Amino acid sequence: MSRRLLVSFFDHEEDILGASCTVREAGFRIADVYTPYAVHGLDKAMGLAPSKLPVVCFLLGLLGAALKVWFEFWTTAVDWPINVGGKPWNSLPAFVPVTFEVMVLCAGVSVVIAFLFVSRLWPGKQAVLADPGVTDHRFVLVIEQADAVFDPIKVHELLKRFHVVRVEERVESEEEAR
């Protein structure tokens, strides 16, 4: 099913913040907002839930650390024990540094992979830009025209208070919808 979208363009951080907040409070559905840099407070203005990526980071880090401790114990105490300076086979304190490093490695690499996965970014992906200037200076608010009573004129009036540069209607085909 294709979506009817109302795309509005802004030039300032405060305007996109105010517009997103107002539009959402007025009961419209924001499809997405595009900004050239991370605008602080925009997630709250849009009503986005916090990212769950820290959970991935924590769990994968923990998994990496656990596997590493097991591996070091298995190689050093079980599979092929070697007497080094008379130290015990299971010299756990000596395993701490490598375990820490492997934990950081697993947590860091996995959180980046998870980020690329949830944000659907990959090498060679063609970016579909809401506006050619969106990675430069332009802020774009995309409102979904969810129901029949949606009145673009009324929304435009609302957005004018936030110095909207221009507003246009677009129809997103099924292929374009991610």
Partner 1 sequence: MASAASSLRTPLIEGAKTPAQVTRDICAVLDRKPTWVWWTGFLCACAALVVGAAAVTYQIAVGIGTWGLNNTVGWAFDITNFVFWIGIGHAGTLISAILFLLRQPWRTSVNRSAEAMTIFAVICAGLFPVIHMGRPWLAYWMIPYPNTRGSLWINFRSPLIWDFFAILTYFTISLLFWYLGMVPDLATIRDRTPPGLRRRFLGILSLGWDGSARTWLHYETVYKMLAGLATPLVVSVHTIVSWDFATSVIPGWHTTILPPYFVAGAIFSGMAMVLTLTIVARKAMGLEQYITRQHIDKMCKVALATGCMLGLAYVTEFFTALYSGNQYEQFVFLNRALGPLSWSYWIMVVCNVGISQLLWFRKVRTNPAAVFVIAILINVGMWFERFVIIVTSLHRDYLPSNWASYVPTSIEVATLVGSFGLFFTCFFLFCRFVPVIAISEVKGVLSVGRKRTVFPLTIAETPAESAQAVLEEKGVPV
According to the binding rule CB under 8 A, does residue 47 interact with partner 1? Answer: no
CB of 100 to partner 1, least distance (A): 6
Report the residue from 5, 6, 7, 45 that binds partner 1 according to the rule CB under 8 A. Answer: 45
Report the residue from 87, 171, 173, 177 that binds partner 1 according to the rule CB under 8 A. Answer: 87
Judged by CB under 8 A, which stretch of 1-9, 91-99, 144-152, 166-174 contacts partner 1? 91-99
Judged by CB under 8 A, which stretch of 2-10, 21-29, 148-156, 166-174 contacts partner 1? 21-29
CB of 45 to partner 1, least distance (A): 6
Report the residue from 2, 25, 146, 171 that binds partner 1 according to the rule CB under 8 A. Answer: 25
CB of 170 to partner 1, least distance (A): 15
Query: Other C-beta atoms within 10 Å of 123: how many?
Result: 5
Report the residue from 57, 65, 155, 164 that binds partner 1 according to the rule CB under 8 A. Answer: 57
**Chain residues 115-144 in contact with partner 1, contact rule CB under 8 A:** 115-116, 118-130, 132-137
CA 12 to chain CA centroid, nearest Å: 22
Report the residue from 29, 32, 169, 173 that binds partner 1 according to the rule CB under 8 A. Answer: 32
CB of 174 to partner 1, least distance (A): 18
DSSP one-letter string for the chain: --EEEEEEEES-HHHHHHHHHHHHHTTPEEEEEE-SS--TTHHHHHTPPPP-HHHHHHHHHHHHHHHHHHHHHIIIIIIS---STT--TT-HHHHHHHHHHHHHHHHHHHHHHHHHHHTT--TTPPP--SSTTTTTT-EEEEEE--STT--HHHHHHHHHTTT--EEEEEEE-TTT--
Closest CA to 131 of 13, 6, 16, 34: 34
